[in-house]
C-alpha cells in the first residue's frame, strides 16, 4: 500500500474565496472501461480509515465567539504519480495511457488536488466514477498554470478513476502528482441535513423578498458562496471601488483563509488560488426551499489585503464574471456603521442564499476570545428581527438601509432559539489603520489617494445588461408550481412509448442574444438523455435554432480554471443551461426540452403552473410532429406555463445609451471579450467614420478607421470598463464595454 501522510482538517470558519477565473473542461471522452483494460484490472489505492464521529465532534467545536468552519470533507495528503502508482499501457496508435483508481470506503464523493500539473499539447486528463456515468474533463495543456496545480471538482461515490492520455510525439512527458484526496463525509451543498447540521428553518430564502424588494435582490447578486480547498464553505461579497473600473474585488473574513487562525504564516495567495465562487446559488422558491443553480461559478483569485487583527480579507477575482451571471459590485461605507435597518445575506452551511434582518442600531464591540482583535473592531448585532447566522455564513456582508456594506461576519452566538449576538468586523477599522497596502482596504477600494470613504454599488454590465425572463415568475404565483400528473405520469414529461417535446413561449422586443436558460425540475434519473432546444416561429415553434445536451454541472477551482462536475438530479432543483454560443432570436421564440432516451418509467419534466391559476397559456407540446398549445392538447387541456426562464441580452444596446440611430452602426463585443466588432449599417458610413476607445479615466487607448465590418482586438487592454465611440460627419454612437 502507498504511504500517506494523513491530515485531518482542522475546523475552518466559513470558506474563503479564490481568485475567480472560469476554467472550462475541453471536451473529449475517456476510453471505454471495457476496452483493453477491464475495471477489475485497474489498480485502486485505498485510503486509510478515519473516525467520522470524531470529525463531527471537531466540527461541533467553536473557536471562542467565531463560527466554526463548515467542513464536508476529510483530507488525505498523498504523493501518487505515474512513477509509483496505477497502470500504464500503449494504444495501437502510440497513445500512452495511465490509469489509477482511488478508493475511500464510505465516501459520498471524492475530489483530488493535482499538486503537480503540467501537460503537453495534445494530452488529455479525465476523472470519472466506477461506472463512467460521472465524467470530468478533458483537462489539457490549456489548464496549465503558473502555480502548476489543478484542483478538481468532486466525483460522486467512493471510487474515483483517473485516466491520462498522452500522444506519441508529445513535446515532453506530462507531470501529474495527486497531492490531496478529499473524502466527503457530508453531502456537498444543498443536501438534506445530517449529523453536524443545525436548523436553518428560521433563516428565510432570499427568494422570499423577490416580489417585495428589488433593492435586496440587487444587493444579493453581489453575494457568492465560496468553496475553499475542496473542503469548507464561506460567504463573500463582490465590491465596487471609487475608480468604478469594474475590478471584481471580493470581501470575506480572514479566518476563512487561515483555518480560524490555526495556520502560522499562511500563503494567502496560494489559498486564494484554491477557491471556487458560486453565483446565483438561490432557491427559485421562497417555500419550499429548493436546491439552487450550481452551474454559474468561477475559480481562483488573488489575495490583495489581509489583516488578521480585524479579521479582514480582500481578494480580487482573476476576471469579472460574464454578463449572463448578472453580477453586482456592492457599495460600501467605511466611514461608520450606516443606518438601520440592516441585512445580512449569506450562505449558511453552504445552503442556497438566505437573509437575516435587524431593525436595531449597531454598537462597537471588542471581540477578544480568539485573538486580540483591535479594540472595538467589530459591530455587534444585538438581535435579529428575522433570521440568524450559522457555520458557512462567515465573511457574509452586513448591508445598511442604503445597500452599502459596513462590515462582514466574523462569528457570533445567534441561533434559531436565540437570534442574538453576532459580530461583523468593521470596514472602518480595516480601512487605513495599517500603512501596508496588503493590510488595508483603502489602497484597493479608494485607489489613487482618493479621499472617499464610501462608494455606491455598480452593475458592471449596466450598459449592456442581461435580462432574466420568466413567465412563471411574472404570474405572481411562482410558489404554487407543481408537476401535474395524469395516471401517475407527468403531463409535461417523457413517455417512453410515444416521444414528445415541450417548450415555453417568449417574445423578444427586437433582436436579442439568448445566452442560456434556467430550468426548475422535479427529481429524475441521471441516466436520461435530454436535449434543451430553441425554436423560432410566429404561430408555433417551427424553426430549430439550437440544441444543447442537458448535463448540469457545478465547478471547482483549478488555479484559474473551472473544473466541471456533473450534479445529481435526484431532487427538485434549479439548473442553468449555458449555451456554447449565444443564439440570436427575434420576435417569438421558444425554449424547451426533449428526451432522446429513457428507460420505462423514467421521466424528465419542468415544473408548471397548476390548472385554473392563469388566464393565458405559454406552454407547448409536440406530438406526432405537430406543435399544440397545452390548453389545446387533449392530454393536458388547461392554461399554464413551464418553469423555463431564458436569459437574453439585446446585443448590448439599451434605450439610455447615446446611440443616435439604430440604423447608423452596431457595436458588438465577442463573448470572450477579446474582440470588438463594428458593423456599419448606413451605406455611406464605410470609410467616413472612425472609432475611439477610451478607458474609464478618459484616456484614449485605441482608435482607427472603419472600413466594412471592422474587427478590433482587445486582448492587450487591461481588464476594466471602456467607452467605445463611433463618429461620422453627421452623428455619433457610444457604448460601454467591459474587458
* SS3 at position 288: coil
* SS3 at position 77: strand
Q: What angle do CA 519, 524, 526 make, to 5 degrees?
A: 95
Instruction: Give every CB contact of residue 520 below 8 A, 6+ residues apart in sequence.
Output: 284, 290, 481, 572, 573, 574, 575, 606, 607, 643
Enter the C-alpha cell of residue 309: 487583527
Distance between CA atoms of 737 and 698, rounded to whole angstroms?
14
Contact (Cβ atoms closer than 8 angstroms) between residue 249 and residue 314: yes
Enter the C-alpha cell of residue 658: 447615446
What share of the chain in percent tops pLDDT 70?
84
pLDDT on residue 684: 53
Answer whether the bond into residue 341 is a cis peptide, omega within 30°: yes
Distance between CA atoms of 240 and 248, rounded to whole angstroms?
7
For the chain, the helix, strand and coil percentages under 3-state DSSP, each to the nearest 5: 10, 40, 50
Distance between CA atoms of 229 and 667, rounded to whole angstroms?
41
Is 80 exceeded by the pLDDT of residue 668?
no
Enter the C-alpha cell of residue 115: 499538486
pLDDT: which is higher, 156 or 514: 514
pLDDT on residue 9: 24
591-603 average pLDDT score: 84
Distance between CA atoms of 351 and 206, rounded to whole angstroms?
11
Q: How far is CA 491 from CA 89, 588, 644, 728, in A?
A: 50, 24, 16, 57
What share of the chain in percent tops pLDDT 90?
48
Task: Give the least confident one: 15-24, 245-254, 341-350, 703-712.
Answer: 15-24
Distance between CA atoms of 66 and 43, rounded to whole angstroms?
43
Sign of CA dihedral 275, 237, 306, 461: positive
Residue 119 pLDDT level (bands cut at 50, 70, 90): very high
Strand partners, 647: 468, 516
Phi-psi region of 228 (alpha: psi -120 to 50; beta: other; left: phi over 0): beta
pLDDT on residue 64: 54
Is 60 exceeded by the pLDDT of residue 545?
yes
pLDDT on residue 624: 81
Is the domain defined by 206-455 classed in CATH 1.20.1440.230? no
Taking only the tens place, the pLDDT of each residue in 278-295 is: 999 999 999 999 999 988
pLDDT on residue 651: 55
Is 90 exceeded by the pLDDT of residue 499?
no
User: In degrees rounded to 5, what are phi and psi of residue 609?
Assistant: -75, 145
* SS3 at position 418: coil
pLDDT on residue 27: 60
Is 80 exceeded by the pLDDT of residue 675?
no
Name, of 13-22, 463-472, 717-726, the range with top average pLDDT. 463-472
Is 70 exceeded by the pLDDT of residue 10?
no
Task: Give the least confident one: 211-215, 357-361, 700-704.
Answer: 211-215
Give the domain ranges of the chain: 5-184, 206-455, 467-553+560-649, 665-738
CATH topology of domain 5-184: Jelly Rolls (2.60.120)
pLDDT on residue 22: 30
pLDDT on residue 33: 65
User: In degrees rounded to 5, what are phi and psi of residue 728?
Assistant: -120, -175
Is 80 exceeded by the pLDDT of residue 566?
no
User: Which one is the CATH code of 665-738: 2.40.128, 1.10.1660, 2.30.29, 2.60.40?
Assistant: 2.60.40
Contact (Cβ atoms closer than 8 angstroms) between residue 154 and residue 230: yes
617-644 average pLDDT score: 94
Distance between CA atoms of 368 and 378, rounded to whole angstroms?
10
pLDDT on residue 208: 93
Is 60 exceeded by the pLDDT of residue 69?
no
Residue 496 pLDDT level (bands cut at 50, 70, 90): low
Distance between CA atoms of 324 and 286, rounded to whole angstroms?
23
CATH number of 467-553+560-649: 2.60.120
User: In degrees rounded to 5, what are phi and psi of residue 255?
Assistant: -70, -15
CA atoms within 13 A on the CB side of 501: 22
Enter the C-alpha cell of residue 605: 419534466
Enter the C-alpha cell of residue 633: 392538447
535's enclosing H/E stretch is strand 529-536
Q: How far is CA 462 from CA 323, 667, 729, in A?
A: 10, 16, 28
Enter the C-alpha cell of residue 89: 499501457
pLDDT on residue 659: 29
pLDDT on residue 186: 72
Q: How many CB atoms lie within 10 A of CB 199?
A: 13
Q: How far is CA 550 from CA 375, 541, 579, 604, in A?
A: 53, 20, 10, 11
Mean pLDDT of the chain: 83
Closest C-alpha among 639, 727, 726, 612 to residue 676: 726
Distance between CA atoms of 138 and 124, rounded to whole angstroms?
5
Taking only the tens place, the pLDDT of each residue in 389-422 is: 998 899 999 999 999 999 999 988 899 999 999 9
Length of the chain equals 739
Answer whether the bond into residue 138 is a cis peptide, omega within 30°: yes
pLDDT on residue 26: 58
Sign of CA dihedral 248, 253, 256, 262: positive
pLDDT on residue 538: 92
304-330 average pLDDT score: 93
Enter the C-alpha cell of residue 462: 449596466
Is 80 exceeded by the pLDDT of residue 230?
no
Is 70 exceeded by the pLDDT of residue 565?
no
CA atoms within 13 A on the CB side of 123: 25
| Residue 269: DSSP 8-state | H
Distance between CA atoms of 65 and 420, rounded to whole angstroms?
12
Read out DSSP for 686-731?
Answer: TTS-EEEEEETTS-EEEEEE--SSEEEE-TTSPSSEEEEEEE-SS-
Tell me the CA end-to-end span of the chain in Å, nearest whole number. Answer: 50
Q: Classify residue 372 by burial, with Cβ atoms within 10 Å: 0-12, 13-18, 19+.
A: exposed
Q: How many CB atoms lie within 10 A of CB 580?
A: 10
Shared fold status for 467-553+560-649 and 665-738: no
Is 70 exceeded by the pLDDT of residue 162?
yes
Residue 196 pLDDT level (bands cut at 50, 70, 90): very low
pLDDT on residue 214: 77
Q: How far is CA 13 from CA 264, 291, 313, 646, in A?
A: 16, 23, 13, 36
Distance between CA atoms of 725 and 197, rounded to whole angstroms?
54
* SS3 at position 324: helix
Residue 561 pLDDT level (bands cut at 50, 70, 90): very low
CA atoms within 13 A on the CB side of 689: 27
Distance between CA atoms of 43 and 86, rounded to whole angstroms?
6
pLDDT on residue 73: 76
pLDDT on residue 558: 39
Taking only the tens place, the pLDDT of each residue in 429-485 is: 999 989 999 999 999 999 998 899 999 999 998 877 888 999 999 898 999 999 999
324-336 average pLDDT score: 95
Enter the C-alpha cell of residue 708: 466594412
Is 80 exceeded by the pLDDT of residue 368?
no
Read out DSSP for 179-206?
Answer: EEEEEESS--SSPPP-TT----TTS-BG
Contact (Cβ atoms closer than 8 angstroms) between residue 58 and residue 8: yes
Amino acid at each position: 500500500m502507498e504511504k500517506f501522510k494523513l491530515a485531518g482538517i482542522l475546523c475552518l470558519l466559513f470558506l474563503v474565496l479564490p481568485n475567480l477565473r472560469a476554467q472550462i473542461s475541453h471536451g473529449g471522452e475517456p476510453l471505454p472501461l471495457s476496452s483493453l483494460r477491464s475495471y477489475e484490472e485497474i489498480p485502486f489505492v485505498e485510503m486509510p480509515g478515519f473516525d467520522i464521529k470524531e470529525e463531527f465532534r471537531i466540527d461541533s467545536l467553536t473557536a471562542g465567539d467565531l463560527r466554526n468552519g463548515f467542513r464536508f470533507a476529510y483530507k488525505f495528503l498523498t504523493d501518487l504519480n505515474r512513477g509509483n502508482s496505477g497502470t500504464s499501457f500503449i494504444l495501437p496508435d502510440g497513445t500512452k495511457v495511465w490509469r489509477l483508481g482511488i478508493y475511500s470506503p464510505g465516501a459520498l464523493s471524492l475530489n483530488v488536488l493535482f499538486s503537480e500539473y503540467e501537460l503537453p499539447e495534445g494530452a488529455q486528463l479525465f476523472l470519472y466514477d466506477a461506472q463512467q456515468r460521472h465524467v470530468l474533463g478533458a483537462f489539457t495543456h490549456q489548464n496549465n498554470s503558473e502555480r502548476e496545480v489543478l484542483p478538481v471538482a468532486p466525483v460522486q461515490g467512493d471510487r474515483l478513476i483517473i485516466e491520462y492520455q498522452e500522444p506519441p510525439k508529445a513535446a515532453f512527458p506530462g507531470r501529474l502528482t495527486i497531492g490531496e484526496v478529499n473524502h466527503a463525509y457530508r453531502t456537498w451543498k444543498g443536501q438534506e441535513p445530517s449529523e453536524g447540521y443545525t436548523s436553518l428553518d428560521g433563516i428565510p430564502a432570499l427568494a422570499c423578498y423577490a416580489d417585495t424588494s428589488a433593492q435586496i435582490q440587487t444587493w444579493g447578486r453581489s453575494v457568492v458562496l465560496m468553496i475553499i480547498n475542496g473542503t469548507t464553505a464561506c460567504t463573500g461579497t463582490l465590491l465596487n471601488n471609487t475608480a468604478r473600473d469594474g475590478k471584481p474585488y471580493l470581501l470575506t473574513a480572514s479566518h476563512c483563509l487561515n483555518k480560524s487562525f490555526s495556520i502560522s504564516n499562511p500563503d494567502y495567495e496560494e489559498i486564494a488560488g484554491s477557491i471556487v465562487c458560486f453565483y446565483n446559488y438561490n432557491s427559485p422558491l421562497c417555500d419550499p426551499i429548493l436546491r439552487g443553480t450550481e452551474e454559474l461559478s468561477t475559480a481562483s483569485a488573488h489575495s490583495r489585503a489581509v489583516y488578521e487583527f480585524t479579521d479582514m480579507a480582500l481578494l480580487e477575482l482573476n476576471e469579472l464574471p460574464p454578463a449572463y451571471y448578472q453580477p453586482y459590485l456592492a457599495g460600501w461605507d467605511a466611514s461608520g456603521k450606516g443606518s438601520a435597518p440592516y441585512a445580512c445575506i449569506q450562505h449558511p452551511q453552504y445552503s442556497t442564499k438566505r437573509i437575516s434582518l435587524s431593525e436595531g442600531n449597531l454598537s462597537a464591540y471588542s471581540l477578544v476570545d480568539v485573538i486580540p482583535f483591535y479594540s472595538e473592531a467589530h459591530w455587534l448585532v444585538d438581535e435579529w428581527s428575522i433570521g440568524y447566522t450559522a457555520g458557512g455564513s462567515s465573511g457574509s456582508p452586513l448591508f445598511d438601509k442604503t445597500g452599502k456594506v459596513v462590515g462582514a461576519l466574523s462569528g457570533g452566538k445567534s441561533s434559531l432559539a436565540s437570534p442574538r449576538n453576532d459580530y461583523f468586523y468593521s470596514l472602518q477599522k480595516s480601512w487605513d489603520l495599517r500603512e501596508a497596502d496588503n493590510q488595508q482596504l483603502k489602497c484597493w477600494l479608494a485607489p489613487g489617494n482618493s479621499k472617499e470613504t464610501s462608494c455606491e454599488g455598480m452593475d458592471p454590465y449596466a450598459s449592456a445588461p442581461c435580462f432574466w425572463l420568466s413567465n412563471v415568475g411574472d404570474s405572481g404565483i411562482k410558489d404554487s408550481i407543481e408537476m401535474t400528473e395524469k395516471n401517475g405520469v407527468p403531463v409535461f414529461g417523457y413517455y417512453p412509448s410515444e416521444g414528445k417535446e415541450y417548450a415555453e413561449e417568449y417574445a423578444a422586443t427586437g433582436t436579442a442574444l439568448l445566452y442560456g436558460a434556467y430550468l426548475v425540475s422535479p427529481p429524475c434519473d441521471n441516466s436520461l438523455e435530454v436535449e434543451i432546444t430553441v425554436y423560432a416561429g410566429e404561430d408555433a415553434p417551427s424553426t430549430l435554432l439550437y440544441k444543447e445536451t442537458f448535463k448540469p454541472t457545478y465547478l471547482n477551482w483549478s488555479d484559474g480554471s473551472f473544473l466541471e462536475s456533473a450534479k445529481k438530479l435526484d431532487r427538485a432543483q434549479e439548473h442553468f443551461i449555458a449555451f456554447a454560443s449565444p443564439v440570436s432570436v427575434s420576435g417569438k421564440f421558444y425554449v424547451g426540452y426533449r428526451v432522446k432516451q429513457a428507460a420505462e418509467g423514467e421521466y424528465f419534466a419542468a415544473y408548471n403552473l397548476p390548472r385554473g391559476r392563469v388566464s393565458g397559456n405559454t406552454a407547448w407540446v409536440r406530438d406526432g410532429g405537430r406543435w399544440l398549445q397545452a390548453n389545446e392538447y387533449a392530454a393536458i387541456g388547461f392554461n399554464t406555463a413551464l418553469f423555463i426562464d431564458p436569459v437574453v441580452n439585446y446585443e448590448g444596446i439599451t434605450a439610455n445609451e447615446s446611440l443616435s440611430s439604430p440604423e447608423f452602426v452596431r457595436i458588438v463585443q465577442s463573448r470572450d471579450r477579446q474582440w470588438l466588432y463594428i458593423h456599419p449599417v448606413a451605406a455611406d458610413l464605410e470609410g467616413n467614420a472612425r472609432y475611439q476607445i477610451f478607458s474609464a479615466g478618459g484616456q484614449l487607448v485605441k482608435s482607427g478607421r472603419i472600413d466594412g465590418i471592422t474587427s478590433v482586438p482587445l486582448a492587450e487592454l487591461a481588464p476594466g470598463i471602456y467607452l467605445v465611440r463611433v463618429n461620422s460627419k453627421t452623428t455619433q454612437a457610444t457604448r460601454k464595454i467591459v474587458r
